[in-house]
Amino acid sequence: MKYKGLIMFVLILILFGCGKKETRYEAHSFKNGKDGKMLLYRLLKPTNYDKNVKYPLVIFLHGAGERGQDNMKQLMHGAKIFETKVNLKKYPCFVIAPQCPEGQRWVEVDWSLEKHIMPENPSEPVNLLMELIDSFEKRYNVDENRIYVTGLSMGGFGTWDLIARYPSMFAAAAPVCGGGDVTTAKIIKNIPIWAFHGAIDKTVNPQRTRDMIKAIEDAGGNPQFTEYDSVAHNAWDKAYGDPKLLEWMFEQEK
């Protein structure tokens, strides 16, 4: 019985420690000066950041299931590849991983549709993200010729949307299991794109990515597309698990 208190203390430590994982991503929030709207985000900095060196910037857009206000769930899928020991050394960069609030989307469209027209205006989270990027570039030494965007599912839609709205900003894009507006193909045809989708995805029809790739090719572009046989919606596991993705991404430059 004399060890009962100690045992309970250890159990409490274990319980409260469950689910907590170390990450190099710093927790931040951005508030715009116009109306005080806020965007939560995580930031990964290059190891041994040197303010005299220009670094690439990656924008990482999470999926619908990672929306919220905890400023952590957006790291659940994909984002962690940038903070592995190998990749931190091989690809020093900034990564901004914003968290979309519950009930909002990176692009306000229905993901179940066979096609969509890009909304006239960007969503509120994307407006805040663009303000954040502008503010970030004033504080850190970002290589403006090497800004990349990638995202999965809802973030895949967001990736297609961002490069269509701001084609001069991005050096490359890697949308995963998303969909875009095929009428924007001429706008984005010269952006290096590597898209991914699962062939048996029942959440977002893989035809959405196939249609985007064909439209870009018809417009004279040369995008890459990897479609995984026997893979459903979680194409991000294979896409972000492929070391060739980051190798390809960081080779691209405007």
Whole-number pLDDT of residue 65: 97
* Within-domain flag for 56: yes
* Within-domain flag for 215: yes
* Within-domain flag for 210: yes
Structural contact between residues 81 and 246, judged by C-beta atoms closer than 8 angstroms: yes
Quickly list DSSP for 19-46: T----SPEEEEEE-TTT--EEEEEEE--
C-alpha to C-alpha distance for 163 and 135, rounded to whole angstroms: 19
Domain that holds residue 188: 21-251
* Within-domain flag for 127: yes
Whole-number pLDDT of residue 21: 57
Whole-number pLDDT of residue 8: 43
Whole-number pLDDT of residue 17: 43
Structural contact between residues 46 and 94, judged by C-beta atoms closer than 8 angstroms: yes
C-alpha to C-alpha distance for 32 and 78, rounded to whole angstroms: 27
Whole-number pLDDT of residue 35: 84
Distance of CA 75 to the CA centre of its chain: 9
* Within-domain flag for 226: yes
Q: How many domains does the chain have?
A: 1
Q: Tell which residue, 65, 116, 64, 111, has the closest CA to residue 205.
A: 111
* Within-domain flag for 11: no
Q: What is the DSSP letter of 190?
A: T
The pLDDT averaged over each successive group of 10 residues in the chain (254 residues) is 45 41 92 89 96 97 98 97 97 98 97 97 98 97 98 98 98 98 98 98 98 98 98 98 98 98
* Within-domain flag for 80: yes
Q: Counting every residue, how long is the chain? A: 254
CATH number for position 71: 3.40.50.1820
In angstroms, what CA-CA distances link 114 with 54, 110, 170, 210, 211? 41, 9, 26, 11, 10
